[in-house]
Amino acid sequence: MTPVKTNTLFLDDEDDTDIAVLFAIHSSQEIFRVAYLLNKYLELGLARTDQDVDLRHHNGMSYHPLYHFFNQRDLLDCYLVSNRAKATVENTDAQPSLFMGSSGFHNFLVPEYKNVDFFLKIDGTEQSGIFLAQLKKIKPITAIYSIDIAGLKSYKNLIFD
């Protein structure tokens, strides 16, 4: 009997080309204004996506605006998302309420960083220092710093695919 030749393919769990950098942005501006400034200073093309980041919580939903840009030449995938959003409360009472469907509190995409206004996630780059230097030049951004994604408890909220 002749031995059967088999091919074995090993897959790595980590792809070295998919490197993500996460920046925390503090600004009193609206998200569309921050997206405009990032487009201007970083020469990006961030545009509002058709779908927000929907986050279910214990008694309702929150919808976080999401902007996206993909640079085909450099294979950069950029996302700008609001950390804070008004939560819609689902009224579970059988009786109609004056406040049915009202928003009563803020929900956070990354609760560990409640003071952060926006997150800029850039996939496919190792050059976070270059981006950080450019971001610090934008006057309406009061503070910006990088965050280790792996250290976040709610890192799954930052997966936008």
- In a structure prediction context, what are the per-residue pLDDT tens digits for the chain, which is 161 residues long? 555 554 444 444 444 445 689 999 999 999 999 999 999 998 899 999 998 888 877 767 888 999 999 988 878 899 999 999 877 776 655 455 555 555 456 789 999 999 999 999 998 877 778 888 888 999 999 999 999 888 888 888 888 87
CA distance 80 to 158: 10
pLDDT at 88 (0 to 100): 76
Secondary structure E strands in 28-147: 47-48, 53-57, 60-64, 66-71, 76-82, 84-89, 103-108, 118-123, 141-147
pTM equals: 0.78
Is the CB of residue 98 less than 8 Å from the CB of residue 1? no
Q: What residue has token string 């710093």? A: 145
